[in-house]
Structure 1
């Protein structure tokens, strides 16, 4: 990061583009401008690098290239998965199961489907933000056609038992979708190991540009189109492909695949160092999320006796995310912390720190000192 800017500990919000991604995209800015649907040399070259990107994304997920559909990002992928499958299977049933801690890109399509006559069950989570597969199983009905549970939570990092949920669902003929926007590139994600039918990827969580993503669609999965036009992307996502950013996503996937083995323990060491420094200074602080089954880069901490607005104001040289919003005398905590049962007076002082590819140990240690000073300052003021 540039000198003079805050230490960036908000990689779950978005990631900077990897230099290799930028370099891979350069030809699309300078010379490769053809339409991949064109049959002349310009179009064939564009098609070639489009399919290379598809192969790279598929390799990261353990999928086949033809099962990757490029989209504009995680939100579109989730909408396509939920609405596409629900509408395609409405003759078999109109019941969907999801969780209370999903990203709005899943919750909002579910609410929209309810307006179309679908019934949605929102299962609870435990104090660690973990979905119990038995609760999901108990929610299944004879008319359940789709279950969508996120792979990992974007706020607290808890990794969900998707494999067990998928096994229970598949035994009943239920389609399984998982929003893996926060997981892909941080942990190993294999569609066959998980047993899912659909999986969401968001480029900007993966050191690719904003505005590009992918949806893994297992061959044979029933899907209705939610967009209409020409026949690109198996007819599921019409429109001329965003070649520039798709190439970036492909390179981001290739880099992640090459680096995951080394990057996972490095991220975990950085996260744990920050956690140790903060909890040594504030043993009364609360860790949110599962202590073990969570993303290696994610740390959600509640500091009792503080509020996030004052905390963030006291630490302008650290970029982090808030777990609550404070306005005058009202505090609105996140739906995730609320579902986990975090007391309001604790949740109002929650910050999420997420390290990433360009985080250094000295960044974490400097940030810890800044955060410690901010917490003490806010407590002295209140």
Structure 2
């Protein structure tokens, strides 16, 4: 489905645009907006990918061209279509590589042509033929879960079956020796009993997977003491998707990729599982996630979207409770929101948390009050590509 939004300050025209879009096959209307800022606020927090935006050129408060440029900062791949009652803007529309330019009132025929042009420009994805296990969806951010084609979830008979599959999946198709598995899942237990537990768990797991058509996904090799490996190629793997979005963000500095990476991270790698073997990977991913949160807070503050910045700021503070610099930024953000009393209260709490720590030196409330924006003055370093346009 093509996720589409539209903006027009004329309510009747906006409703008509929405109706025409809904009549087109393959279009999912995600939102209709009569103010530019409302559209941008949605785009900054949307969990869905926005593929296409239809924008009135003469929106009050922000010209359609500027709105298009800001949208492209968030979603670089978004396609823009301009709507206007005047044709003198046509040349300007191509400054932002607009997909189309429609004179109002647009007709269904206009929309169908626009839809066809979108397909040609983006080479609309056609799903390839499904190979064995090609419809598997795997989620490791949060509780480990697997679903087969059609969304049917894998139901585990016990917690060890879930942990074993998570462990094999973490090795990305590489063989894992029986000894290594037993050491990770049953460390310090009696060897004979552990071997029996492993065989029973593998048997039960295969039965569970067989129920959703994945019975042959676990391969057993008898050489070198025996090993197991996972033979599937998931259509969706949230760990891989997170890594890809984070890499694209570092390359492009696109807010869209940043937001998708943060959304995919969720509560963290195998959160709440208690798997000791997962701890190093959890720590590694959390460090990268903290970097993303800091960048996200900085972007929103520079855009003066302080309310939106508060949620990632709070998440960041929970992950780094002993950082004076972080608490100073939280105080500064509360001040920018006009909440001085809350800022002073938070400063008092932070001073208690950091008592006898050098980190407490960051908590000079008078200095922060004098210039709260200065706490966010430094932009995140660029890896490559263009910087954010604030």
Provide the TM-score with structure 2 as the length reference.
0.24
Structure 1 or 2: more helix by fraction: 2
Is the radius of gyration larger for structure 1 or structure 2?
2
